[in-house]
Copies of this chain bind each other. A is one copy, B any other.
Amino acid sequence: MATIKDVARVAGVSVASVSRVLNNGPKVSKATIEKVTRVMQELNYSPNANARALVTQKSTTLGVVIPNLVDPFFASLAQGVEQVARQKNMQLLLSTGLVSAETEMQAINLLIERRCEVMVIHSKKLSDQALIALANQVPGLVLIDRYIEAIAQRCIWLDNLEGGRIAARHFLALAHKNVACISSKYQIDDPRLRLQGFQSELLSAGVDIEPELIAYGEPTLQGGEIAVQKLLASGKSFSALFVYNDAMAIGAISALEDNGFKVPSEISVLGFDDVLLSRYSRPKLSTLNYPVEEMAIHAASIGIDLASKQPKNTANINCKYIPSLVKRESTSFNLT
């Protein structure tokens, strides 16, 4: 592959001149520009981004660390970041398949080795402490879907507690008293807070959830199916079901109908996230909107700003998002 030296030699100029036309540098004669440009095409020259990154000490790479791509929630997240990357002429370096604190750390370390200056991280396994250390090391690191007090201005997060409360209020408004819940088996903040907000708001209205009516499962379609089976196996009846996320909710509805329960006439089901799919499931899923793509765009923008020499937004940026209720068909007034 042709190098800058080849171009310089063939064009009969110095590498400095080639570099100048490459970077639209100042003070290059039109003649040189034309000559060099022609030779670059002749030789099919492509500048080496690694060499460039090395000498300029800056990467045009935007790192993203997420658990997987198959979950549409994370796909939207990645898509949001990609959008910003494209706009800023940067490229996405993507890591998925994270299962433990070690793999998360490893993924981030690889980004650091690449000297990636801005990164959008979705980490659930790493400790606050580890993340804080990382954030101090990498100015352009932004956490999404996680809140850590010490680096609050680097966290873009959703108020899950309030989300749970909103769900509870919705059920109360629909006169539901026998309420069940499906949460994630991974007891990280999100499911915990959603459940906590949900329970506390119900409780303050005098509604209690029986322990047998809280099931845990893998946060996937299949996980939702299995969790519903556990709920049904308890023998307790319920008229409303709040589910950790849309995927589980749709799995849950699927299993409920397979067991002869009508949604929403017999059981109302409320999801969380508002992934595209929820608009097209049958019945259309009532859910809480999680503006993840918008948040991802926000996160990437902040990261880029923070990584630049003079960051503008140091303080008082609003990093907290509140989910909003999207009422569709899977929830209805309790007639029992």
Tell me which residues across on chain B come within 8 A of A70, comparing CB atoms.
72, 75-76, 79, 276
Beta-carbon contact of A94 and B114 below 8 Å: no
Beta-carbon contact of A257 and B282 below 8 Å: yes
Tell me which residues across on chain B come within 8 A of A221, comparing CB atoms.
276, 279-280
Does A50 count as interface, using CB distance less than 8 angstroms?
yes
Shortest beta-carbon distance, A283 to chain B, in Å?
A: 8
Total contacting residues, chain A, CB less than 8 A: 49
Whole-angstrom distance between the alpha carbons of A83 and B68 in the complex? 10
As a 0/1 sequence over residues 40 to 56 of chain A, the CB contacts with chain B under 8 angstroms (1 = contact) are: 00001011111101100
Beta-carbon contact of A48 and B91 below 8 Å: no
Q: Give the residue of B50, B76, B109 whose beta carbon is less than 8 angstroms from that of A59.
A: B50
- The residue on B at minimum CB distance from A96 is B82
Determine chain A's interface SS by DSSP, over half rule: helix
Does A88 count as interface, using CB distance less than 8 angstroms?
no
Which of A30-72 touch B at CB < 8 Å? 44, 46-51, 53-54, 59, 68-70, 72
Query: What are 28 A-to-B residue pairs whose CB atoms are below 8 Å?
Result: A1-B115, A44-B137, A46-B109, A46-B113, A47-B113, A49-B113, A49-B114, A49-B115, A50-B50, A50-B59, A70-B72, A70-B79, A70-B276, A72-B75, A75-B75, A82-B94, A91-B93, A91-B95, A91-B114, A92-B93, A93-B93, A93-B94, A94-B94, A253-B282, A254-B280, A277-B277, A281-B281, A282-B282
Does A251 count as interface, using CB distance less than 8 angstroms?
yes
Whole-angstrom distance between the alpha carbons of A279 and B277 in the complex? 13
9 additional contacts, CB 8 Å, given A50-B59, A93-B94, A94-B94? Answer: A69-B76, A69-B82, A91-B93, A91-B114, A92-B94, A221-B279, A253-B282, A257-B282, A281-B281
Beta-carbon contact of B49 and A51 below 8 Å: no
How many chain copies does the complex carry? 2
Shortest beta-carbon distance, A213 to chain B, in Å?
A: 23
Tell me which residues across on chain B come within 8 A of A276, comparing CB atoms.
70, 221
Beta-carbon contact of B59 and A69 below 8 Å: no
Does A195 count as interface, using CB distance less than 8 angstroms?
no
Does A300 count as interface, using CB distance less than 8 angstroms?
no
Most B CB within 10 A of own CB, among A46, A50, A78, A114: A50
Tell me which residues across on chain B come within 8 A of A283, comparing CB atoms.
282
